A = this chain, B = another copy of it.
Amino acid sequence: MHIIDNLQYANWSEKIFRQMREGGVDAVHVTIAYHEIFREMVANIEKWNRWFEAFPQLICHGRSGNDVRRAKKDGRTAIIFGFQNPSPIEDDIGLVEICHMLGVRFMQLTYNNQSLLATGCYEAEDSGITRMGRAVIKEMNRVGLVIDMSHSAERSTLEAISLAERPIAITHANPNFWQPAKRNKSDTVLRALGESGGMLGFSLYPHHLKDKSNCSLDSFCEMIARTADLMGVSQIGLGSDLCQDQPDSVVEWMRVGRWSKTIDYGEGSATEAGFPDMPDWFQDNRHFGNIASGLRTVGFSNDETSAIMGENWLRFYDENFTAA
């Protein structure tokens, strides 16, 4: 069984890389840009290159499903790059392929707000995919950069699914039926996602969980079972949204970037402005085993559990990370 977590944004350190190995995590999709322009995002890849050089026995850069298989064989964790916002491509469609050449494999078309490409889930009006958005979707499909609509609004998400010629992903979100939240997804979106061959990564970020930090493992796994009924057990995986060891200043950067001079609390509030506590059964990369056990407890077979824990993402990587 491969274990793949298809979204993390931790305050990376040797400690965390060692926890990935302790947890047997074979691949992690890491966010390397929220609001960065191209050159700033490149500086973030430079940081990763230094970590790859410093900890070659723990981590390596992952660009393909086979890189993940090789990493597992070598006892390392493959790190897959992604953006939560299209800011690194600026207004230049040529940067889509450049980013793919640098190993980027996921890009959200929006992060909460309206972008040049689509509408984010916190906007009052969702005007759908823009002119540039249509061109960029085509280009992302051409080169093998996966469209991620985790932070996008409903109409934009449905349009992206239908305009794209290859499956898209919602790397980190949960169903609205379980925990109503602007970031969680409607049955309509989840059904369209599953039917188009797309993937949903279940989030463990407390604001996306029923009962938030007090969410039970059983409730989380029951929700997965109901989502499997809705979209198919082959179209779901994990995208924990683990933001381990981050200071609260980072959640401010994520929410506000440079787009506003006043604070926006996003999913939080003035009284709960920082990162919420993770559930006790998923504190860090060492705890994926709890989820696998929980999935078996709610009735998933061993094969289905493996599919959800990583094999589905691995198949998706094989099919969607290279040129069409």
Contact = CB atoms under 8 A, between A and B. Distances in A.
A42 B100 CA distance: 13
A97 B46 contact: yes
Contacts of A43: 92, 94
Interface string A41-54: 01101110110000
B49 A97 contact: yes
Interface in A90-120: 92, 94-95, 97-98, 101-103
A97 to B, nearest CB: 5
A45 B98 contact: yes
A229 to B, nearest CB: 42
A317 interface: no
B42 A95 contact: yes
A38 interface: yes
Chain A interface bracket (under 10, 10 to 19, 20 to 34, 35 or more)? 10 to 19
Contacts of A92: 43, 46
Contacts of A102: 98, 101-102
Contacts of A42: 38, 95, 98
Interface in A1-43: 38-39, 42-43
A117 B95 CA distance: 28
Nearest to A47: B94
Given A46-B92, A102-B102, 9 more contacts: A39-B39, A42-B98, A43-B92, A45-B101, A46-B94, A46-B95, A49-B94, A50-B94, A101-B103
